[in-house]
Chain A
C-alpha cells in the first residue's frame, strides 16, 4: 500500500477519505444487517411497515433459523455446495493452470492471447441455451442429479477464469530462475512443477477463491441438473419461491448461511489478493 500518499495528505483529505470509506462500508453492510433482521421475523412480519428494530417494532423469533437448520434438505444442499465448489475449483485448476502455463511460456501457431480469448469466449454463451444440450449430455452419461455431473459442467465454465488469470500471473513470474534451471538440466515438467508453480502460489489461491465464489453463486444449472440428492444451496435458495411466493424470512436465513463458506475463505486469502491478482498487467 502506498503509505506515502496518506502521510502527505492534509487533515481535511483524511477526514474525507474516512467519511467515504465509512459510507461505503455502511452501504455494504446494511443489506446484511437487513437480512439478519428479516431472518428473525415471521413471514407475515417481513411485509409489516416500520418493522425495523426487534422487540421494539416486532416480536423476534428464531423460527426461520430453526426451520432451515433442522431441514435435512438444507443441510444436504449445503454439503453439496461445498463438495461441488471445492471439486470444481480443484478440477478447473488442474486443467486450467497447465494450459495457462503453456500459453504464458511457449509459442503456438496461434497467438497465445487469442487462445486465451477463445477460452474466455465460451463465457459469452447464454446459459439457458447450453442448458438443454447439457442436460441431454448428463442423461447419456447417467450423471443427472450427481455431484460429478455438476463438477464437470462448472469446471468447463470456470476454466476460462483459471486460464486467463493464471496466464497473466505466469507471465509476470520472472523467467531468470527457470532459465537457470534449464541450464542445470531440469525437464520442462520439473520446471513447471517445482519452480513456476510454487512461485505463482499467490495467484493460484486467488484464482481458486474466484472460481469457488462463482461456482457457489451458480443457481440456474444447479436447479435444472439436480432434483434431489445433488441440489446445491443456491438452487435451494432459488427454490425459496413456493406456491404462495417467497418466504422472505427463510430466504434471509439462507442469504446469511450461504455467505459463510466463501467469506471465511476470503478472510484467509485476502492478503494474497493484492499480490496475486495484478493480472501481470502492471509492471513497475
Chain B
C-alpha cells in the first residue's frame, strides 16, 4: 500500500530487479562468462591433446591480422551482407506493402511469402546445390532457356551470388513479416487522410508508409545485419568456401579454425577482432537509428 502512494520511482523498487535479474544473470553466465575463456585462449598457444602449451602475447592477433585469408573472409562477409540485406529490406517492404493493401486473397499471399522463414538454412544451402548445379540444376536450366550460362558453383563470384540469392529467398520473409506488422498497425484514419492529399499510390507509400514503418524496419535491418554478419549455414552448405577459399565467409573460417582444427588460440583471437569490428559497426548504426527516431 505504501509503494502505491509513494513516488513512482519507489514503486516496485525491488520487484523490478526480481524481474530483470534472472535474465541478466542468465546472459552473463551463458554468453559473457564464456567470453572470458575466449579472451584467455586468444593469448595462448593451444594444441589438441596438450591444452595450453604457453602464452604468446599478441602473436595470435598479429597472425590473424596478417592473414590474407582472414581479410578475404571479412570482405566476402561484408559483400554478402551489403548486397543481401538491402535487397531483402526493399523486397520485404514492397511485398509487405502489397499484401497490406488488403486485396482479396491477401491472406493467402501473406501465408506463402512468410514461409521461407521457417525453413532450415542448412537444408536450403543443400537444396541450392541442386538448384544452381550445371548438371540438372533448375535455375541453370531456366537460364539456359534464355540463353544465359552462369558458372554458379565453379567460380568465386558465381558461388557468392548463388549464396546471396538463397539468403534473399530465405530472409526476405523475415523483413516481410516484421514490416507487415508495422504497416498493419498504422491506423486506417491516417490512410484516409493521406489518400486525399496524395496524387497517387506511390505518394502514399513514400509519405505515409515508409516514414511510419521506418522504426520497425530499422529493427529488422539491425537484426538482419547482426545475423547476416554471422552467416554460416547457407554459403557453407552450398560451396564449403570454394573454389579455394574464395567464397569463405568469416564464420566458416572461424568454424574451421576453432572447431575443426582445435586451434583455439587463433580462432579466439579471430573472434575477438571480429567482435570489435561488428560492435563498432552496430554502434554507428544505432546512433544513426536514434537520430532518425529522435
Question: Does chain A touch chain B in the assembled complex, meaning CB atoms less than 8 Å apart?
Answer: yes
Interface size class of B (residues with CB under 8 A): 35 or more
Beta-carbon contact of B15 and A189 below 8 Å: yes
Beta-carbon contact of B20 and A281 below 8 Å: no
Beta-carbon contact of A156 and B118 below 8 Å: no
| Interface 1/0 per residue, A100-118 and B, CB below 8 Å | 0111011110000001010
Q: A17-B103, A255-B127 given as contacts; is B20 within 8 A of A277 (CB)?
A: no
Residue ID in chain B nearest A256 by CB atoms? B123
Beta-carbon contact of B182 and A129 below 8 Å: no
| Contact of A200 with B by CB under 8 A | no
Beta-carbon contact of A282 and B119 below 8 Å: no
Q: A121-B279, A259-B118, A278-B182 given as contacts; is B113 within 8 A of A99 (CB)?
A: no
Beta-carbon contact of B123 and A254 below 8 Å: yes
Beta-carbon contact of B258 and A159 below 8 Å: no
Residue ID in chain B nearest A57 by CB atoms? B136
Q: How far is the CB of A202 from chain B (nearest CB, A)?
A: 10
Beta-carbon contact of B23 and A128 below 8 Å: no
| Interface 1/0 per residue, B104-129 and A, CB below 8 Å | 00100111111111111111101101
Query: Cβ of A32: which chain B residues have Cβ within 8 Å of it?
Result: 115
Query: Cβ of B102: which chain A residues have Cβ within 8 Å of it?
Result: 1-3, 5-6
Beta-carbon contact of B120 and A233 below 8 Å: yes
Beta-carbon contact of B117 and A159 below 8 Å: no
Beta-carbon contact of A282 and B12 below 8 Å: no
| Contact of A142 with B by CB under 8 A | no
Beta-carbon contact of A266 and B16 below 8 Å: no
| Contact of B87 with A by CB under 8 A | no
| Contact of A276 with B by CB under 8 A | yes
Beta-carbon contact of B258 and A132 below 8 Å: yes
| Contact of A89 with B by CB under 8 A | no
| Contact of A62 with B by CB under 8 A | no
The listed residue (B114, B115, B216, B250) touching A126 by CB distance below 8 A is B250
CA distance A4 to B196 in the complex (A): 11
Q: A31-B127, A99-B23, A122-B31 given as contacts; is B188 within 8 A of A4 (CB)?
A: yes
Query: Cβ of B215: which chain A residues have Cβ within 8 Å of it?
Result: 279, 281-282
Query: Cβ of A105: which chain B residues have Cβ within 8 Å of it?
Result: 12, 16
Q: How far is the CB of B173 from chain A (nearest CB, A)?
A: 8
Beta-carbon contact of B109 and A24 below 8 Å: yes
Q: How far is the CB of A204 from chain B (nearest CB, A)?
A: 14
| Contact of B282 with A by CB under 8 A | yes
| Contact of A49 with B by CB under 8 A | yes
Of residues 127 through 159 on chain A, the ones whose CB sits less than 8 Å from some CB of chain B are 127-134, 136-137, 152-153, 155-157, 159
Q: How far is the CB of A172 from chain B (nearest CB, A)?
A: 9
Residue ID in chain A nearest B94 by CB atoms? A20
Q: How far is the CB of B157 from chain A (nearest CB, A)?
A: 22
Beta-carbon contact of A159 and B26 below 8 Å: yes
Q: How far is the CB of B245 from chain A (nearest CB, A)?
A: 16
Q: How far is the CB of B94 from chain A (nearest CB, A)?
A: 8
Query: Cβ of A155: which chain B residues have Cβ within 8 Å of it?
Result: 26
Beta-carbon contact of A102 and B16 below 8 Å: yes
| 10 chain-A/chain-B pairs, Cβ below 8 angstroms | A5-B101, A28-B173, A98-B18, A99-B24, A124-B229, A128-B254, A152-B30, A255-B120, A267-B111, A278-B185
Besides the contacts A103-B20, A130-B34, what 5 more A-B pairs have beta carbons closer than 8 Å? A1-B184, A5-B204, A95-B22, A220-B255, A274-B184
